[in-house]
Amino acid sequence: MFEKPLLSPTQKFLLKRFVNRKNELKRFRDMLEGDEHMIMFVTGESDIGKSTFMARMIEECGQSEWNCAVVACDRMANNDYRTIMRKLRSEIGRDRFDTFNSEDKEWGQPVFNLALSGDGVNVSVAGDATIKDDAQVGDIVGIKNVVEFPQEHLDEMERDRRSALTDAFIGNLSEITRENRMVFFFDAVEKMSNDAERWVMNQLVAAVLDGVVMNVRFVCCGIRKPVIHQDHAWSVDEAELKPFKVGDVAEYLQKRGIDDDDQLGFARQLVQLTQGYAGRVANQVDSYEAGRER
Q: Which domains does the chain have, with CATH numbers?
A: 9-104+149-240 (3.40.50.300), 246-293 (no CATH)
* Mean pLDDT of all residues belonging to the chain: 87
In the 8-state DSSP scheme, what is residue 201?
Answer: I
Residues 270-285 have a mean pLDDT of 95
- Return the pLDDT at 114: 55
Cα 215 from Cα 208, distance rounded (Å): 8
Residues 265-282 have a mean pLDDT of 95
The pTM score is 0.83
Beta-sheet strands, E only, within 145-223: 181-187, 216-222
Residue 1 banded pLDDT, cuts 50, 70, 90? low
Residues 225-249: tens digit of each pLDDT: 999 999 999 999 999 999 999 999 9
Residues 101-147: tens digit of each pLDDT: 999 998 876 555 555 555 555 555 555 555 555 555 555 455 455 55
- Return the pLDDT at 105: 92
* Among the listed residues 65, 4, 3, 5, the one whose alpha carbon sits nearest the alpha carbon of residue 33: 65
Cα 195 from Cα 78, distance rounded (Å): 11
Cα 204 from Cα 216, distance rounded (Å): 10
- Return the pLDDT at 128: 57
Residue of 134 and 220 predicted with greater confidence: 220
Lowest mean pLDDT: which of 59-73, 97-111, 136-150, 272-286?
Answer: 136-150
Residue of 259 and 149 predicted with greater confidence: 259
Between the two ends of the chain, the Cα-to-Cα distance in Å is 51
